[in-house]
Amino acid sequence: MTTAEQDTPTVRALQGLEDGRASVRLRAAMAIGSNPDPRAVGKLVERCSIEPEFSVREMLTWALTRHPASLTVPRLIDELRSERPQARSQALHTLSKTGDRRAWPAITPALLSDGDDEVARTAWRAAVALVPEGGEPALAGALVTHLGRGGREMQLSLSRALIALGEAALPALSAAMTDAAPHVRHHADATERLLRDPDAGFEFAIEEAKRVAALQDRPGGA
């Protein structure tokens, strides 16, 4: 490669992604996205797995979506097998933004139940974005197996994913509302309430589900 070839805008931007300053990395990612170059795809994906700043990661994702899906999707799918949680999470996030349903088979049950909460949450969102038409009921059935997992933010993420599936999620939620575990029943009930009444807050829906359950558990029922 000649000196001139080594000093192209793309090469300079890729070098900027290695800078210690987040502002420089952000501008570099923006420059690559503004002038897509197939040579940048590998470096963008690689950087996603280690970039510490959220705003820069978002710009990296945007830059990747500016490139042909035929180049980015296979690389992103490869990242889903990474041992690094951030690599898996960011690849899932970017795949959801591409909207390319060829990535759907890569959203495996293992990813939906990933031991890292952020990876699992991102997998839920990606699955909803990429599920093929007609696959919503089966996806809802897979998602409800995670009801009750984690704290408030984790549970809210799952509720949002199920709500995004719309009416297709109702049979799975109804079945989960009879689960033996109270925290699963409450989460299922709260999600069903939010699906039917999007204006209801999550905390209110959870507390209402618990209140109704307590009444039903009294002698003689509610």
Residue 207: what pLDDT?
Answer: 63
Domain ranges of the chain: 7-103, 112-217
pLDDT in tens, 55-77: 999 999 999 999 999 999 999 99
* pTM of the shown model: 0.86
Residue 9: what pLDDT?
Answer: 84
Looking at beta carbons, which pairs linking 109-116 to residues 24 or more positions away fall under 8 Å? 109/142, 111/80, 112/142, 112/143, 112/146, 113/145, 113/146, 114/85, 114/88, 116/85, 116/88, 116/89
* Residue pair 148/184 in contact by the 8 Å Cβ criterion: yes
- SS3 at position 175: helix
How large is the C-alpha radius of gyration of the chain? 21
Q: How far apart are CA 206 and CA 168, in angstroms?
A: 21
pLDDT in tens, 194-221: 888 876 666 655 665 565 555 454 445 5
**Of residues 217 and 117, more confidently modeled:** 117
Q: What percent of the chain has pLDDT over 90?
A: 78
pLDDT at 5 > cutoff 90: no
Out of 3.30.1360.70, 1.25.10.10, 3.30.70.2610, 3.30.300.130, the CATH code matching 7-103 is 1.25.10.10
pLDDT at 2 > cutoff 50: no
b/e 204-219 (16+ beta carbons within 10 angstroms → b): ebbebbbeeeeeeeee
Residue 222: what pLDDT?
Answer: 43
- Extended strands (E) in 13-67: none
